[in-house]
Amino acid sequence: YIKRRIFMAHWVVVTYERPNTGVAWFTPSSEILDLATEFQNTEPKKITSYEKSESADGLKQYYKIAFKDNATYTEFENTSKGQNNITARVNYLNENGINYWIDHHGETEPTL
């Protein structure tokens, strides 16, 4: 009998809200998208679910991501690619009047 430690998922939802549909969404850099792909292709997977969607009125955009655990989320954010993305995102959102928030849902999958 081998005792294994089970890590629970850490769900995160990033929500963007733009003032009107004439304002373009922030586009993550190819380097951060490549990092997300890398995290999805590790064994065990560091990102186990990744979804992007938009509200019916086109004013809200959602990224719903399940990381392997909270430590993996922190690892992703703290990479140089993660930090560069955060800086670029905050600058773009501030310049274009887009609000955003990040909700942490722990191991419970959120419903959008």
Instruction: Identify the bridge partners of residue 67 per DSSP, sorted by sequence position.
Output: 10, 47
The one-digit pLDDT tens for each residue of the chain (112 residues) are 555 555 589 999 999 999 999 999 999 999 999 999 999 999 999 999 999 999 999 999 999 999 999 999 999 999 999 999 999 999 999 999 999 999 999 898 998 8
What pLDDT shows up at residue 32? Answer: 95
Contact 75, 66 (CB under 8 A): no
Alpha-carbon span 12 to 83, nearest angstrom: 17
Residue 8 in contact with residue 67, Cβ under 8 Å? no
Considering the entire predicted model, what is its pTM? 0.87
